[in-house]
């Protein structure tokens, strides 16, 4: 999927940055690798889905059946995605 979206950085005047889902995936992978953070594919996907949802304005994705380990990992990854988004924002955006 090669969607792009404009994301405004926290600077004045505001600057528009284009980013794709593929670039978000690369950023998440680098974040996890730099911190030597081991996680499941579902957890990683949750982080990516949350960032895409916030950046592109898409709805929350329920990829897995509720009550399963996969759904729990995805949800936890989405929660971690909030932390990651905050960290990027403090560093000046994407």
- Whether the predicted model's global pTM rises above the 0.75 cut: yes
Q: What is the pLDDT of residues 47-94, one digit of tens each?
A: 999 999 998 887 777 899 999 999 999 999 999 999 999 988 888 766
Per-residue pLDDT at 17 = 61
Contact 48, 21 (CB under 8 A): yes
Nearest to 28 by CA among 51, 6, 10: 51
Q: What is the pLDDT of residues 17-47, one digit of tens each?
A: 688 999 999 999 999 999 999 999 999 999 9
Distance, CA of 37 to chain centre: 15
């Amino acid at each position: 999927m090669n969607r792009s979206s404009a994301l405004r950085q926290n600077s004045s005047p505001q600057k528009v940055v284009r980013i794709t889902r593929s670039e978000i995936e690369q950023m998440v992978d680098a974040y996890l690798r730099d911190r030597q953070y081991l996680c499941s594919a579902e957890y990683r996907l949750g982080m990516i889905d949350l960032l895409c949802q916030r950046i592109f304005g898409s709805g929350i994705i329920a990829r897995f059946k509720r009550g399963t380990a996969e759904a729990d990992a995805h949800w936890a990854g989405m929660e971690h995605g909030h932390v990651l988004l905050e960290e990027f924002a403090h560093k000046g955006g994407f």
